[in-house]
């Protein structure tokens, strides 16, 4: 669930990246919200086998919710910690990426590009048996988060996205300043 960085000038996204920003709340096929996402080079790097890639993009959905939030993979059941934190996640038996309507409508395209691939990494991890909400493990120490962030940071670097954007992108509201520095170091993004 990365957070939108503060910046003034829009940064470029790969040619062919599109977002249907006005799609209504509800559950939609992934490619209805992000048409052509499966044909972009990052999709081929994420899943090299064409049949598996088609399956991932055809079977993953997006649920747009009218809530102030970013993105996350809907758990199959409510994680234990959720109730104590007041989090009421969308629960889904199938692979579903939940997206806040404000994030979809207002966030920079580069942010959405990085976020959707970050969450697709999580879908693949969970399909491989990973626990995305591993209890007792810091967010910045979860291998699932580090791997997903590493993928999108590498994609951003290939597009010459500046370190200032990456530092802001990796500063999510649920981690401390010390954890932010730890994540930056792990991903080899220079601290300010």
Q: Does residue 152 lie within any of the structural domains?
A: yes
6 has pLDDT over 70:
no
Query: If you average pLDDT over every residue of the chain, what do you get?
Result: 89
Domain assignment of residue 85, given as a range: 26-186
pTM flag (> 0.85): yes
Residue 9: its pLDDT value, please?
58
133 has pLDDT over 60:
yes
User: Going by C-beta distance under 8 Å and a sequence separation of 6 or more, which residues neighbour residue 160?
Assistant: none
Q: Does residue 163 lie within any of the structural domains?
A: yes
- Average pLDDT, integer, range 102-113: 94
8-12, 37-41, 68-72, range with greatest mean pLDDT:
37-41
- Assign 79 a pLDDT band (cuts: 50, 70, 90): confident
Q: Does residue 1 lie within any of the structural domains?
A: no
Angle at 166 between CA 125 and CA 42, to 5 degrees: 45
Burial of 136 (0-12, 13-18, 19+ CB in 10 A): exposed
How many distinct structural domains can be found in the chain?
A: 1
């Amino acid at each position: 669930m990365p957070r939108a960085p503060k910046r003034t000038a829009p940064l470029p996204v790969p040619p062919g990246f599109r977002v249907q920003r006005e799609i209504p709340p509800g559950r939609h096929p992934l490619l209805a919200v992000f048409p052509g996402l499966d044909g972009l080079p990052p999709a081929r790097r994420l899943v090299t086998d064409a049949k598996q890639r088609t399956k991932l993009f055809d079977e993953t959905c997006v649920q747009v919710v009218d809530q102030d939030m970013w993105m996350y993979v809907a758990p199959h059941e409510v994680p234990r910690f959720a109730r104590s934190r007041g989090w009421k996640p969308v629960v889904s038996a199938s692979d579903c990426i939940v997206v806040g309507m404000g994030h979809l409508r207002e966030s920079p395209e580069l942010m959405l590009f990085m976020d959707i691939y970050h969450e697709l990494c999580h879908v693949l991890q969970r399909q491989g048996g990973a626990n995305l909400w591993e209890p007792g493990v810091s967010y910045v120490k979860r291998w699932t988060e580090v791997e997903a962030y590493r993928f999108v940071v590498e994609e951003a670097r290939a597009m010459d996205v500046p370190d200032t954007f990456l530092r802001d992108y990796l500063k999510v509201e649920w981690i401390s300043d010390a954890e932010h520095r730890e994540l930056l170091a792990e991903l080899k993004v220079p601290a300010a």
